[in-house]
Amino acid sequence: MSNTGYFQYNMRAVVHSGVGSIIRIPALLQGLGARRVLLISDEGLKSVGVVDRVAATFDTWQSGTMPVLAGMFTDISPDAGSSTVNACMAYAREIAADAILAVGGGSVLDAAKGVKYGLCHQALDINEALQSGIKMEAWPAAQHMGIPHLAVPTTAGTGAEVSAAAVIFNEETGTKNGLVAPFLEADIAVLDAQLTLGLPPGLTASTGMDALTHALEGVASPNANPFTDAHCIIAAQLIEQNLPLVVANGQDVQARAQMLTASCMAIDGYLAALNFTPVHNCAHAFGALYHIPHGDANSVFLPIVMEALIDLYVHNAERLAQSLNMPTNGKTGKDLMLDVIAKIRDIQQQIGCATDLSRWNVKIEEMEQIVTAVASDPVAMFYPIPLDKIQEITVKAIG
């Protein structure tokens, strides 16, 4: 929160949550004024039948006033690669789509936002809009984009269905670039836990740690306020309670539903409090250099960064402990913060997520390149991590 106490909080997306709620998608799109819908997803979800399951909901509505599914684009690459965003924009124009239905994890949901932004601004190459590394727009200069947009997350991690931000991988420069703009998020998010039941334990764990990182960095942010705390603290508490359950039993639909709720809340609070975010700084940089999935990168860096930069977190130790359902046992300050870090490592062990970068072949000999990548990542503008701390974090993360 600013020194004056001023803050702004937005949550524009309407959330529809419930098992089987995808059946409402065509009617919801009709309410948004959609007529020709482009479904955007990836090959993995196509191959396991999720895309066809969502597409089939259009067959249950026979009214002539209902929107039609004009086409499906399922070639979105991991990390929302700019070339696939551009290809999807071209396809949307080819089929005269006037609405977007995004079905997938963070990469698909972010790519769909890039497509919407590009269509609205008549762009042919999304990279042209992101030349500075991070593009931030504000209302009232930025207005509604006029493209009906519904998002269906299939993982409980990024919360990208309700966030007015997208991370797109620029394949030409090898960097993850950010786009933040009002109205970028979906108009409606449909949270149907049934679509997450097939998620394997490893992916469940890594995406859950992504959501936990959003929540805890939101709590620790200098811009935190009662609205962001309401979302971030409750989200973290839900994750602490339910993430071990869904990793142990992927068919626990109630715990899956709680994780979808937590993921959605966490990103909303995190972005509204956006400021100092060193865990994401490291995750973005290493993810771009070594193609590490974002959830895995956050899993590794969350306790390591907190430990290396503990002085930044100490004054929020009690709130972070509350977020993880921890008793303080009379501790405060650094002693309590060390317990918080230990709790995060305990969660890591429970769910079997990545705790170091060994599987991605990160080499200490590449330290100069790593330091440059972390220091030049777009979100480093909020808090430039000292170079010696980047080296310390890297050594610990390599394991």
The one-digit pLDDT tens for each residue of the chain (399 residues) are 556 678 878 888 999 999 999 999 999 999 999 999 999 999 999 999 999 999 999 987 766 789 999 999 999 998 899 999 999 999 999 999 999 999 999 999 999 999 999 999 999 999 988 876 778 888 888 889 999 999 999 999 999 999 998 989 888 888 888 898 899 999 999 999 999 998 999 999 999 999 999 999 999 999 999 999 999 999 999 999 999 999 999 999 999 999 999 999 999 999 999 899 999 999 999 998 999 999 999 999 999 999 999 999 999 999 999 999 999 999 999 999 999 999 999 999 999 999 999 999 999 999 999 999 999 998 899 999 999 999 999 999 998
Angle between helices 333-351 and 294-308 (to 10 degrees): 150
SS3 (DSSP) at 68:
strand
Q: Start-end ranges of CATH 1.20.1090.10 in the chain?
A: 201-398
Q: Start-end ranges of CATH 3.40.50.1970 in the chain?
A: 14-196
Q: What is the pTM of this model?
A: 0.93
Quote the pLDDT of residue 376. 92
Based on C-alpha coordinates, what's the Rg of the chain? 20
According to DSSP, the β-strands at 149-153 and 188-191 are parallel
CATH class of 14-196: alpha beta
Which parts of 16-161 fold into alpha helices (H)? 25-31, 43-47, 50-55, 82-94, 106-120
**Rounded (to 5) percent helix, strand, coil in the chain:** 55, 10, 35
Quote the pLDDT of residue 3. 61
Query: Which residue has 């008793």 as its token pair?
Result: 327
99-120 burial by CB neighbour count: b if 16+ within 10 A, else e?
bbbbbbbbbbbbbbbbbbbbbb
Closest C-alpha among 262, 209, 199 to residue 231: 262
Quote the pLDDT of residue 7. 82
**Cis-peptide into 140, omega within 30 deg:** yes
Q: Options 3.40.50.920, 3.40.50.300, 1.10.10.10, 1.20.1090.10; which CATH number does 201-398 get?
A: 1.20.1090.10
Residues 234, 219: contact at Cβ < 8 Å?
Answer: no
Quote the pLDDT of residue 129. 82
Residues 107, 77: contact at Cβ < 8 Å?
Answer: yes
Residues 27, 142: contact at Cβ < 8 Å?
Answer: no
